[in-house]
Structure 1
């Protein structure tokens, strides 16, 4: 039957009364083969748009539903049983289960679980810096913990924006039924702002969230210690500066640790707690416990430039910049990694993070790790041309003050490349993927080898929940176990010979290849 015939019959059955368009539409979609076909096709399009075909379960579920709709419940149940058996044995399922095991392993970490020593109680909180990090953190603390919180900034305009942004966020949670409306006045009353440190005198936990400048962070931490007299835990939200470089002038450096909330705080599910040997174990455990009450996956890493997630992300973005200056188009780089499974392309991410922050991070890591983090020639031209990304409405993409990102690449950005570089119209996207993915994976191995990263499980959790490494691959360590260390070492050696020593494989990866070992053992 055609849809027109069904509509005519329905109209006659109702005695000639005109059916509402929504009622007729629902009838056609629910009760006809044509409607079923249309629904399943549209559902498949939406699934593929979100998953890029990397996750087989949603498509299998859709097939099972289609079988049940077309051939009846019994055939549908049989199809469901077959599909479940096939999916449970799939590589994707093994990777996702490994990620689940990694999350459970992190919860049993001796530095994450309570011991005989009581955890510290954080009841009065402070945040220094009302930028995007401070605002996001304030919103999460009020929503998840409902604790008294004071936000400090020297600019009253920043404090006004903070209050408005937090209020907007809480209103959104009410609209999404994640927060009862009657709690709004209480939560609003818990938040206060100030341009002085007087209110921090009796705080238990103070977050330093000022811009990523070493001198400024040292000054703020010193002032906080003086006001608070060393009673509070001071948590720096730095994304890359070693904590040991922030504390040389403090009387109680053991009270300072890193709590790197990956941005944006409201949506990214990871917290890196950065410890040093001077930190008491109960202080680290207390910070981990607090992070979990904010709904975060928490990993504990050892102090060092870039920690774990920022180092891996920097290696990935730095390689994307090398590709750009070699002639690859912005849209090709972004599309390639979106298709591979990252939530955002590397060039878009550089615009979102800001080229100034990315530059400071790359410079720090280049100074620390040498050739491996050397930026491409021409990187500085992006800054001198004012391409700071979204916040400056000028980056790799074009931006509108009202609508934000337009989705169009700014063609003038290509003028910053050397005149000898021509835009590649038929790029080798397989090599692009290998270079970007293996830059990330190899840096994860370096982090594990030098002790920054404590376990492969933490490495997978941090990469997936912190910086968007595709979950269907389970994280860089699960990905290595699947590919085989020997194969990856061979690919890295090939890339190193073609593109430079930054691709030389990590020693621990070479050792694993020679031993035929895996990082997750039998479970991988």
Structure 2
């Protein structure tokens, strides 16, 4: 028997005997004279279990490809195609497996294994096709990039290279092949901008528009149409044009300049998004830049070395915990959620309010649920403005090719407005998004109870007020639940689901099922002021603001948290949230919990003067506090250093999270981590906020013990 190139990896595979293997199921298909060997990647674990890539999977794929290479050489087949089980091509590397490869040599072997398999696919002796029928992430997309041609389903979702988000690089050829296929700017959008923007992915239509795929087909007959298209390509009846493709090896000055400018812009984005505290995004760019004039083989060697290095970093281990254990596992199995079978159907939604938040909610419900949504407000002008905003956002989705014209028309038709709450009479779920004032919300709920059905669920999008108090005067307070979204609604994946003392299980179950249907992650929180995310954030911001008020220079106070790599500085966050909103929540928290929540007189002075933020831009692109703003402020004489502010904030966070857990606001530290990652953009490379506080010693300094023993 001829030795296989994959025999060298058998020891690596033996280290992960429990791997859920994604099998390479090969069959010959004759398509009007074309003989195509079709590989279907399938773990045979049912529709809900994503296919992934571990050592045993890659070895099986490689050996299957070796057999097909020999058959191609013998003239038995004309082409090879790769597709996946329904809804998945491949969801990327098996991180559970990768996490087990603690020794550098094993990490190197894993990196080389991927290249050995993908290089074979790229040079099989006959054309190769990838039929991207669903999720294609990381190594899954890199399989497609290694093929000669690609088709994609219009229904496919979850396409991308998220490695920078999880502490790695696209190390199986993606960082080399993608920019040559679609251009450096678009490639870095996929490899840097999207991963650092809440791990955004793209759909099939956008993948086609960018040039990742050569053809786009509908979901219903995707495989048949892809095979017919492949036949026509093989027969020369269809030619493939790639207008976005570039070749830096050609020496074209324009291409080389674009490459450099794209890298520079991406590095600036990484600095803004992570404060350069996370190593992986910078490493992606290092390999991208080094690969500009390299051969594919030279880039592969650099990718292997870089992957090996990154797999040994504490940031990667922390990211795996945050992504795999918290976001994936904890997020999909929320603690305390009732049996989903108790959930009630939701066939019509009401939104009280027609402002910006209400409009975002209306669009989300209409687009994701496909049910009628009615918005109300106190006058027709406000209602019309809200509905018009929804329509304009739908038009933007069409312009970005994220939504077809037909789908856009359907979404627009689902969203209507009214000045009468009588329009909610047949609604199953009504959510209020009105002014953050308890008396106003109680009045709204009282008016709603008079018109809705007995089974209708009443939800509040409050960020800090008592859900219990809102419901206390209702005849059926058990129907009330908190359903707190984060801004911007379309982007932020968290919903804090608030159970008041009388909220019943059917209502709560409906809320969790609804969150999932909206493609959000629901976390159960007890009814306590500001719940989790805003309580933690406001404690953090309050400490920075207090240090500033005490006399710490603004630049020192605002940059002190840079080692955390947060998405934005505290003062920038305050201006984005809105100083009045931040002040209002701080006042609510101080009223609930006392003086540990700082209410800033300086911030109130800015609000009273109509100033929206501390910083103002300068002509050279920097920032400053204008003299007119400084004249409004007063300071103490106890300045702190950046190190002192950072330690102060760490200790405050440890104290507040300890109290949140002591009060049973959530079930466990993992739930705090989940809330902060998904609701506040807490950096993945820090592994969640509670492991970070353990690591810097704050948990033990303040609470006498770690959150994670």
TM-score by length of 1: 0.79
Residue 316 of structure 1: CA displacement? 1.6
The answer to whether the Cα contact below 8 Å between 2:494 and 2:675 also exists between their aligned partners in 1 is: yes
* Equivalent-residue separation in structure 2 for 1:340 and 1:70 (angstroms): 35
* Equivalent-residue separation in structure 1 for 2:614 and 2:381 (angstroms): 29
How has the CA–CA distance of structure 1 residues 229 and 58 changed in structure 2, closer, same or farther, with 3 Å as cutoff?
Answer: closer
* Equivalent-residue separation in structure 2 for 1:222 and 1:28 (angstroms): 66
* Equivalent-residue separation in structure 1 for 2:630 and 2:315 (angstroms): 38
How has the CA–CA distance of structure 1 residues 114 and 85 changed in structure 2, closer, same or farther, with 3 Å as cutoff?
Answer: farther
Are 1:123 and 2:336 counterparts? no
Listed one character per residue, the Cα deviations across residues 193-246 of structure 1 (whole Å, up to 9, x for unaligned) are 111111111110000111110111111011101111432110011000111111
Are 1:396 and 2:620 counterparts? no
- Structure 1 residue runs without a partner (length 5+): 1-22, 390-394, 400-404, 491-504
How has the CA–CA distance of structure 1 residues 343 and 30 changed in structure 2, closer, same or farther, with 3 Å as cutoff?
Answer: farther
Match of 1:439 in 2: 652
How has the CA–CA distance of structure 1 residues 196 and 385 changed in structure 2, closer, same or farther, with 3 Å as cutoff?
Answer: same
* Equivalent-residue separation in structure 1 for 2:446 and 2:556 (angstroms): 46
- Of 572, 575, 587 in structure 2, the residue corresponding to residue 351 of structure 1 is 575
Residue 277 of structure 1: CA displacement? 3.5
Listed one character per residue, the Cα deviations across residues 90-125 of structure 1 (whole Å, up to 9, x for unaligned) are 11111221112112123223533645x432111110
Higher RCO structure (Cα 8 Å, ≥6 apart): 1
- Of 511, 520, 524 in structure 2, the residue corresponding to residue 287 of structure 1 is 511
Residue 263 of structure 1: CA displacement? 1.6
How has the CA–CA distance of structure 1 residues 168 and 272 changed in structure 2, closer, same or farther, with 3 Å as cutoff?
Answer: same
Residue 377 of structure 1: CA displacement? 4.6
Deviates more, 1:68-77 or 1:281-290: 68-77
The answer to whether the Cα contact below 8 Å between 2:449 and 2:474 also exists between their aligned partners in 1 is: yes
Match of 2:43 in 1: none
How has the CA–CA distance of structure 1 residues 42 and 193 changed in structure 2, closer, same or farther, with 3 Å as cutoff?
Answer: closer
- Of 620, 628, 643 in structure 2, the residue corresponding to residue 430 of structure 1 is 643
Are 1:454 and 2:672 counterparts? no
Match of 1:162 in 2: 386
Are 1:107 and 2:332 counterparts? yes
Listed one character per residue, the Cα deviations across residues 322-378 of structure 1 (whole Å, up to 9, x for unaligned) are 123223444554444467422222222222222322222112211211121142454
Helix, strand or coil: the match of 1:227?
A: coil
* Equivalent-residue separation in structure 1 for 2:338 and 2:251 (angstroms): 54
- Of 199, 215, 237 in structure 1, the residue corresponding to residue 439 of structure 2 is 215
The answer to whether the Cα contact below 8 Å between 1:273 and 1:300 also exists between their aligned partners in 2 is: yes
* Equivalent-residue separation in structure 2 for 1:141 and 1:74 (angstroms): 48
Deviates more, 1:359-368 or 1:187-196: 359-368
Are 1:78 and 2:301 counterparts? yes
Residue 79 of structure 1: CA displacement? 2.7
Match of 1:89 in 2: 312
The answer to whether the Cα contact below 8 Å between 2:486 and 2:495 also exists between their aligned partners in 1 is: yes
Match of 2:277 in 1: 54
Match of 2:32 in 1: none
* Equivalent-residue separation in structure 2 for 1:88 and 1:204 (angstroms): 49
Helix, strand or coil: the match of 1:373?
A: coil
Are 1:413 and 2:638 counterparts? no
Listed one character per residue, the Cα deviations across residues 41-74 of structure 1 (whole Å, up to 9, x for unaligned) are 8515623532432232233334445555555433
How has the CA–CA distance of structure 1 residues 280 and 430 changed in structure 2, closer, same or farther, with 3 Å as cutoff?
Answer: same
How has the CA–CA distance of structure 1 residues 41 and 90 changed in structure 2, closer, same or farther, with 3 Å as cutoff?
Answer: farther
* Equivalent-residue separation in structure 2 for 1:438 and 1:29 (angstroms): 53
- Of 187, 197, 205 in structure 1, the residue corresponding to residue 411 of structure 2 is 187
* Equivalent-residue separation in structure 2 for 1:332 and 1:75 (angstroms): 44
The answer to whether the Cα contact below 8 Å between 1:218 and 1:246 also exists between their aligned partners in 2 is: yes
Residue 257 of structure 1: CA displacement? 0.8
How has the CA–CA distance of structure 1 residues 474 and 416 changed in structure 2, closer, same or farther, with 3 Å as cutoff?
Answer: same
1:479-494 aligned within 5 A: 479-484=692-697, 488-490=699-701
Match of 1:250 in 2: 474
* Equivalent-residue separation in structure 2 for 1:67 and 1:317 (angstroms): 40
Residue 26 of structure 1: CA displacement? 6.2
How has the CA–CA distance of structure 1 residues 109 and 184 changed in structure 2, closer, same or farther, with 3 Å as cutoff?
Answer: closer
Listed one character per residue, the Cα deviations across residues 280-320 of structure 1 (whole Å, up to 9, x for unaligned) are 22321221121122222221111111111111111122223
How has the CA–CA distance of structure 1 residues 38 and 196 changed in structure 2, closer, same or farther, with 3 Å as cutoff?
Answer: closer
- Of 196, 206, 212 in structure 1, the residue corresponding to residue 420 of structure 2 is 196
Match of 1:39 in 2: 259
Deviates more, 1:275-284 or 1:150-159: 275-284
How has the CA–CA distance of structure 1 residues 177 and 408 changed in structure 2, closer, same or farther, with 3 Å as cutoff?
Answer: farther
1:267-278 aligned within 5 A: 267-278=491-502
* Equivalent-residue separation in structure 2 for 1:385 and 1:90 (angstroms): 48
Match of 1:494 in 2: none
How has the CA–CA distance of structure 1 residues 198 and 71 changed in structure 2, closer, same or farther, with 3 Å as cutoff?
Answer: closer
* Equivalent residue pairs, number: 459
Helix, strand or coil: the match of 1:372?
A: coil
1:173-184 aligned within 5 A: 173-184=397-408
* Equivalent-residue separation in structure 1 for 2:606 and 2:284 (angstroms): 46
